[in-house]
């Protein structure tokens, strides 16, 4: 019997009604398939946990206690509504209570020290998933589905880069097979915490915000799932953000490469690393709506479907900054780019796109806005000699920009797509500050003024994405 891995995000387990709905879906599928279930924390809980730790670190000794109270109420209400058996209720109550106590103890420590290390932040932010999965699993049992809850800290083994841990694949694969396969073989539905892992020594880590998609992909890959389904609160991956363009539509089929590019460039569809464990094995992903399960959703596969002259989506990413290093003396001097980027890397800033003018008089690249000041200072320090000789005149950051990315396979092979994108922007009166076309066959990215973003997205969506869609039919 094939195994399906089903992941439910925060809104899909955000209330007692949502959990009941999610469990109905799982129970239906578990009738004739082996099911592995992954859950996020109940919607909003991770944010509250983080807020509790941060306010404690800032010297507020009351806020985390108020949050602890809210966490108790939210989970207790879910337990009351979802589970009838007194024995189960008492066990769940104790489990949630112990975790909320742990939250308070941790926050008290943070409050006393006035410091929340990233290790402590992981310990705190992992609690939401751990509070949620026992409740979901108990509801499954109540619906007659054999189930148990499992903490991913025994399964997902990571390095110690807290808050964005790197997975140790071999050890994780071995642990997942050892712990989960026997359960699946017995017809039990394991309900596993998304988002969290642990180091070899058992110290809790997390995979970064939104990381439970990635958890599902990892676990799904190692139990050899037929497919991984990501259950969320929208009908699938959209052609653009519906808040920017109300005529946004669901994209029926996407390739791994396309969705990877979209996740990287701001579409809040899937955690950026999600498809990585699945690509090699060719395991398809489906994105589906918990609250509208009849909708087809989006299928993400290895196959690439390129309809001539079309692009699939347009996304925007804000909170970025364009850093430029410029100077006439840069011409023909080898190593400036390398030194610039090594200075950037030392500040742990992620470079989202790079462009160099062909005359070599400037290099510009995009980094997260929060890092822009630091990055510029680091570059000035690294290239001090060149500044002194006036080979380089300036290094500066422009925070008032956003990146717009047009996604669709075959971008490089099709002629005319870029022309249509630029035509749409011209018509909307949007000035393009920088362009990267060529780094990936899946996308063209442009830097525009932040103010221009909504107009630019709407114009590209209307004239290129939807228009192309109609032409392809």
Supply the minimum distance, in Å, between the C-beta of residue 231 and ligand ASP.
Answer: 12
Supply the minimum distance, in Å, between the C-beta of residue 410 and ligand ASP.
Answer: 31
Q: Can you tell me which of 14, 134, 173, 210 binds ligand ASP, judged by CB under 6 A?
A: 210
Q: Which residue lies nearer to ligand ASP by CB, 40 or 255?
A: 40
- Give yes or no for residue 173 binding ligand ASP (CB under 6 A): no
Supply the minimum distance, in Å, between the C-beta of residue 78 and Mg ion.
Answer: 20
Contact in structure between 214 and 38 (CB atoms under 8 Å): no
Cα torsion angle, 213, 190, 28, 14, sign: negative
Cβ-based neighbour number of residue 329 at 10 Å: 15
Contact in structure between 340 and 290 (CB atoms under 8 Å): no
For residue 43, give both structure tokens: 């919607």
Supply the minimum distance, in Å, between the C-beta of residue 373 and ligand ASP.
Answer: 26
Calpha distance 337→343 (Å, rounded): 10
Q: Which residue lies nearer to Mg ion by CB, 234 or 316?
A: 234
Supply the minimum distance, in Å, between the C-beta of residue 350 and ligand ASP.
Answer: 18
Q: How do strand 285-289 and strand 147-150 relate by DSSP bridges? A: unpaired
**Based on the number of CB atoms within 10 Å of its own CB, is 186 exposed (0-12), middle (13-18) or buried (19 or more)?**
exposed
What residues pair up with 34 in beta bridges, in sequence order? 3
For residue 334, give both structure tokens: 């080898």
Residue position matching structure tokens 């990055």: 375
Q: Give the footprint of Mg ion on residues 78-107 (CB under 5 A).
A: none
Contact in structure between 318 and 401 (CB atoms under 8 Å): no
What residues pair up with 363 in beta bridges, in sequence order? 325, 356
363 closest CA partner among 372, 351, 354: 354
Supply the minimum distance, in Å, between the C-beta of residue 28 and Mg ion.
Answer: 23
Q: Can you tell me which of 151, 205, 212, 445 binds ligand ASP, judged by CB under 6 A?
A: 212
Chain centroid to CA 328: how far?
Answer: 40
Binding part of the chain for ligand ASP, among 25-33, 38-46, 135-143, 434-442 by CB under 6 A, reads: 38-46
- Give yes or no for residue 210 binding Mg ion (CB under 5 A): yes
Binding part of the chain for ligand ASP, among 24-32, 39-47, 241-249, 342-350 by CB under 6 A, reads: 39-47
User: From residue 101 to residue 140, what is the string marking binding to ligand ASP with x (rule CB under 6 A)?
Assistant: ---------------------------x------------
Calpha distance 395→90 (Å, rounded): 62
Q: Which residue lies nearer to ligand ASP by CB, 212 or 298?
A: 212
Q: Which residue lies nearer to ligand ASP by CB, 42 or 392?
A: 42
User: From residue 4 to residue 23, what is the string marking binding to Mg ion with x (rule CB under 5 A)?
Assistant: -----x--------------
Binding part of the chain for ligand ASP, among 40-48, 57-65, 282-290, 301-309 by CB under 6 A, reads: 40-48
- Give yes or no for residue 264 binding ligand ASP (CB under 6 A): no
Supply the minimum distance, in Å, between the C-beta of residue 40 and ligand ASP.
Answer: 3
For residue 256, give both structure tokens: 């791994």
The strand ranges marked E within 18-80 are 34-39
For 464, which DSSP code? I
- Give yes or no for residue 43 binding Mg ion (CB under 5 A): no
User: Site size for ligand ASP, by CB under 6 A?
Assistant: 12
Q: For the residues of 39-84, what is the DSSP string, one character each?
A: E-PSTTHHHHHHHHHHHHHTT-SSHHHHHHHHHHHHHHHHHHHH--
Supply the minimum distance, in Å, between the C-beta of residue 10 and ligand ASP.
Answer: 5
Q: Can you tell me which of 141, 177, 209, 339 binds ligand ASP, judged by CB under 6 A?
A: 209
Q: Can you tell me which of 3, 6, 8, 9 binds ligand ASP, judged by CB under 6 A?
A: 9
Calpha distance 361→375 (Å, rounded): 19
Residue 128's binding partner out of ligand ASP, Mg ion, none, with CB under 5 to 8 Å set by partner kind:
ligand ASP
Supply the minimum distance, in Å, between the C-beta of residue 211 and ligand ASP.
Answer: 5
Cross-sheet strand order for the sheet of 353-356: 353-356, 362-368, 313-326, 394-407, 443-449, 432-437
Supply the minimum distance, in Å, between the C-beta of residue 49 and ligand ASP.
Answer: 9
- Give yes or no for residue 41 binding ligand ASP (CB under 6 A): yes
For residue 35, give both structure tokens: 């099911």
Which residues form the interface with ligand ASP (CB under 6 A)?
9-10, 40-41, 46, 128, 194-195, 209-212
């Amino acid at each position: 019997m094939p195994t399906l891995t089903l992941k439910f995000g925060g809104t899909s387990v955000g209330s007692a009604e949502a959990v009941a709905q999610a469990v109905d879906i799982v129970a239906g599928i578990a009738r004739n398939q082996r099911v592995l279930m992954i859950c996020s924390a109940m919607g909003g809980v991770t944010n509250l946990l983080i807020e509790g730790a941060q306010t404690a670190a800032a010297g507020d000794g009351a806020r985390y206690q108020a949050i602890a109270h809210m966490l108790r109420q939210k989970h207790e209400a879910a337990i009351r509504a979802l589970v009838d058996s007194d024995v189960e209720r008492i066990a769940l109550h104790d489990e949630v209570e112990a975790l909320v106590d742990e939250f308070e103890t941790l926050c008290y420590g943070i409050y006393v020290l006035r410091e929340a290390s990233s290790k402590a932040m992981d310990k705190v932010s992992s609690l939401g998933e751990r509070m949620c999965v026992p409740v979901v699993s108990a509801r499954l049992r109540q619906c007659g589905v054999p189930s148990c809850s499992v903490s991913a800290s025994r399964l997902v083994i990571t390095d110690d880069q807290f808050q964005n841990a790197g997975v140790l694949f071999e050890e994780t694969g071995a642990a997942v097979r050892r712990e989960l396969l026997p359960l699946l073989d017995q017809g039990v539905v394991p309900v596993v915490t998304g988002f969290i892992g642990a180091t070899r020594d058992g110290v809790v880590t997390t995979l970064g915000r939104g990381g439970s998609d990635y958890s599902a992909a990892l676990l799904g890959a190692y139990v050899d799932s037929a497919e991984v389904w990501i259950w969320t609160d929208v009908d699938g991956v959209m052609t653009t953000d519906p808040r920017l363009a109300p005529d946004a539509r669901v994209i029926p089929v996407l390739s791994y490469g396309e969705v990877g590019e979209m996740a990287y460039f701001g579409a809040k569809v899937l955690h950026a690393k999600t498809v990585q464990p699945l690509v090699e094995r060719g395991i398809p992903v489906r994105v589906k709506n918990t609250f509208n399960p009849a909708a087809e959703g989006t299928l993400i596969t290895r196959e690439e479907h390129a309809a001539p002259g079309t692009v699939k989506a347009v996304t925007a990413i804000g909170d970025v900054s364009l850093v430029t290093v410029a100077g006439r003396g840069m011409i023909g001097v080898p190593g400036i780019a390398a030194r610039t980027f090594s200075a950037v890397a030392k500040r742990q800033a992620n470079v989202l796109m790079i462009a160099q003018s062909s005359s070599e008089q400037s290099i510009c690249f995009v980094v997260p806005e929060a890092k822009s000041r630091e990055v510029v200072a680091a570059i000035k320090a690294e290239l001090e000699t060149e500044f002194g000789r006036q080979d380089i005149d300036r290094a500066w950051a422009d925070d008032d920009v956003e990146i717009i990315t047009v996604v669709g396979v075959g971008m490089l092979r099709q002629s005319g797509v870029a022309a249509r994108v630029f035509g749409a922007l011209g018509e909307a009166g949007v000035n393009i500050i920088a362009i990267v076309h060529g780094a990936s066959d899946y996308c063209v990215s442009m830097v525009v003024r932040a103010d221009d973003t909504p107009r630019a997205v709407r114009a590209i969506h209307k004239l290129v994405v939807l228009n192309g869609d109609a032409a392809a039919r």
